[in-house]
Amino acid sequence: WLNPAAFTDPAPFTFGTLGRTLPSLRGPWFRNENIGLAKEIRVREGHIFEVRATVLNTFNRTVFNNPSATIGSVSFGMFTSQKNLPREVELQGRYTF
């Protein structure tokens, strides 16, 4: 993702040549699709049964967190954590009378 050899610590009591932020350095893209379905079933007059299904992160995509930005660290420039959660499925039922 980034070349750790391109960065070095400046000499003590001096400023480096790198700006405070790197506008061209961004983390990976984030794409997360969620789907929800619902169905109402009329049992009889005044009685309704509703079924819902919600799927979060439908395609189970892994999105990594931003790379480590601590210069001199062993993990500098590496991804060490995940930004999103794995797929979650929620089923709900509701009976209204």
Per-residue pLDDT of the chain (97 residues; tens, 9 = 90+): 677 777 777 888 888 877 777 766 677 777 889 999 999 999 999 999 999 999 999 999 888 888 877 777 788 878 888 888 899 999 999 999 9
Residues with Cβ within 8 Å of 36's Cβ and at least 6 positions away in sequence, in order, are 52, 53, 54, 55
Buried b or exposed e, range 67-86, using 16+ CB within 10 angstroms: bbeeeeeeeebeeeeeebee
* Backbone dihedral angles phi then psi of residue 43, each to the nearest 5 degrees: -80, -50
Give the SS3 label for residue 64.
Answer: strand
For the beta carbon of residue 64, count every other beta carbon within 10 angstroms: 16
Q: 27: closest CA among 75, 94, 78?
A: 78
Global model pTM greater than 0.85: no
